Amino acid sequence: QVQLVESGGGLVQAGGSLRLSCAASGRTVSAYVMGWFRQAPRKEREFVAAVNWNGISTYYDASMKGQFTIPRDNTKNTVYLQMNSLKPEDTAVYYCAAGSSLNGAQRSYDFWGQGTQVTVSS
């Protein structure tokens, strides 16, 4: 079992940056692929980015690559989502997830956090 707790959300102006954190606990956390997803109001949850167990291989949604990065620190059992040049359309609840495959399919992720709200004002 893996427990995930997100933090770092909040209100930011358009053009600003924000870094989300996802603290993981449980057995062999460092062996999991870690991913970030988001869900905007009245929209389906969508994939943002993922990183493999050693932090070297990453995978991004094509529309978000270059704007977001997903560093990982296994010594702290924490994965981050660095978000730059934020736009109002980035407003969403952001979820952290742990899984076994480096891809954007939600079914590949077995454990989920509760989410953290990010609001970008214009």
- How many CB atoms within 10 Å of residue 90? 21
Kindly state the average pLDDT of the residues 67-71: 96
What is the Cα–Cα distance from 28 to 74, expressed in whole angstroms?
Answer: 10
pLDDT of amino acid 96 = 97
Residues contacting 37, CB < 8 A, separation 6+: 45, 46, 47, 48, 94, 95, 97, 106, 109
Q: pLDDT band at residue 103, thresholds of 50, 70 and 90? A: very high
106 SS3 class: helix
17-63: per-residue pLDDT in tens? 999 999 999 877 778 999 999 999 999 999 999 999 888 999 999 99
